[in-house]
Structure 1
Amino acid sequence: MTRPQLILASASPRRLDLLARIGVVPDMVRPADIDEAPEKGELPGPHAQRLAAEKARAVAEPGALTLAADTVVAAGRRILPKAEDEATARRCLELLSGRRHRVHSAVSLIDATGTARHRLSTSIVTFKRLTAGEIAAYLASAEWQGKAGGYAIQGRAEAFVRFLSGNHSGVVGLPLFETRALLLSAGYPLG
């Protein structure tokens, strides 16, 4: 059996790194250009699922597998933005300081016949109470840029995590357990 062509609908280097951990190297990387704004009243988990599905549909090709993902950081029902500036990152970190939050990481796979499969991983993360100095030092690292919720758990922010229940790779941006299951179900060979 020949391995089907795999398209990754993401420009994220973290997702490429995570796929490599399970022995997967996409044949093509084709970021999807979609509107990622939440719909009115949309909850965080369904928002992540909708975006992952839309990204997969946006770049899918007949006969190929298309893998897409989206990660949403949520404080209660509130969807935190991707931090594009320092002020946004500061607001996110101040909000998450000393609290529990959820990270929803959705994966969508469109198989060679056009059938779509979806999975959602939800993890609970609790940050320690952050001091003003810790927030300032983290902001100075610039690690927060473009990150959902203003932090990267795979970097310096991991030291802020007092508790994690769920999938570490999902918090990074691609839940490997769910991704592997989707790929196998679509006939993609994995060791």
Structure 2
Amino acid sequence: QENLMADAYNLVGFQNHLRYGEQARVLRLIPGLERAEFLQYGQIHRNTYINAPRVLLPTLQTREREEIFFAGQISGVEGYVESVATGWLAGRNAARLARGEALLEAPSKTATGALARYVSGADAEKYQPVNITFALLEPLPESERRRLKRKRERHVRQVELALAEWDNWLQTIQDGAHTPRAATT
């Protein structure tokens, strides 16, 4: 839903090189959209981001000026959850720096840690923004990969390990604030 009247909708992810007339033709092939009115057509847009591997540490602070932190799209993560996760880490570290406390590196087995590791340690010459994927998480040990034949089973195990690691890590960094727990399903 794009507005309060619920008479306009946004087609997320429809960036393309098609001319407007061709977009209308293609979209009208979809059942239910034959007579749709298109208020705006898709177009390619460019995400602006820093070359984080050259600039950032795993704490998400800059290598040259410790008081500057980057997170979210500008750091090279894509997606709302990824932006929130890196924002949480950068914000937490900015507060710790202001209090003179040691900065945090999220565990690399976790999604937040994997993203921080990627943006600070990827090949700077080929750096591209990413969403979190299982490929960014540390792989399971070979013995577990052999034991768990199905990809889904391996992914479930990676998530279990990541959640346990996250919860353990959170317990070690609490500073009197609330104690968040990893979500489980």
TM-score range, shorter chain: under 0.3
TM-score, length-scaled by structure 2? 0.23
Greater share of helix? 2
TM-score, length-scaled by structure 1? 0.23
Larger CA Rg, structure 1 vs 2 = 2
Greater share of strand? 1
